[in-house]
Amino acid sequence: MRLFKEIYSSSPENLGYKNGLAISYSKLGGLYESLGDHQQALSHYQERLRLGQEIYSSSPENLGYKNGLAISHAKLATYYQALGHVEEAVEQFTQSRKHFFELWKTTEGKIIQFAFYFALNSYDLSNIIKQLLVDQAYPLDQVTTITEQTKAMRREGFDAIQPLHNAGLLKENKKWLFEKLSDATWYDF
């Protein structure tokens, strides 16, 4: 980490160096997470996100930087979810899903990763919101609208992954997502 900080400080205008530093923060966050040091993990994931936002805003046309930002939101969302911080997880999954949707549409669905992660974020986010609906966490006058939006979100995830499945482009370890998103019983709530 010290090396990346030194390299970056020698040329802070270099987005590649800054991106390397950001990736280092993400990897250290994962390490701290595996060690059970939640504060350090969260701090590193948040710093990764902050750097990712700066990098992307400096070069919004760069799909790699946007992808990095989307991944940063997703990592933070997953971590918040594991900690039981549902509101923060929903916010981060929403941001990640938005970026992956834009990447998927910009590349006309030709980059499998973007379609898969858009579908995965749709899956994760719809599951969280469904649980909140079941737990009656939303005001009664908003339940119908939120329910319909959540079901539509889930269908959008299915629509993103279905062409990959039909073309045989999903690896074995990713086929579970297609099966989950195509489960019609999920919509019964």
pLDDT for position 11: 67
Residue 103: pLDDT above 60?
Answer: yes
Residue 8: pLDDT above 90?
Answer: no
Determine the residue type at 136: Q
Structure tokens at 25: 């923060």
Structure letter (DSSP) for residue 172? G
What distance lies between CA 126 and its chain's CA centroid? 13
Q: For 12-36, how does the pLDDT look when each residue is reduced to its tens digit (9 = 90+)? A: 678 988 999 999 999 999 999 999 9
pTM score, whole prediction = 0.89
Q: For 106-129, how does the pLDDT look when each residue is reduced to its tens digit (9 = 90+)? A: 999 889 999 999 999 999 999 999
What integer best gives the mean pLDDT of the chain? 93
Residue 7: pLDDT above 80?
Answer: no
pLDDT for position 16: 87
Higher pLDDT, 21 or 10: 21
* Mean pLDDT of the 148-157 span: 97
Q: For 24-77, how does the pLDDT look when each residue is reduced to its tens digit (9 = 90+)? A: 999 999 999 999 999 999 999 999 999 999 999 999 999 999 999 999 999 999
Contact 26, 44 (CB under 8 A): yes
What burial class does residue 140 get, using C-beta atoms within 10 Å of its C-beta: 0-12 exposed, 13-18 middle, 19+ buried? exposed
pLDDT for position 160: 96
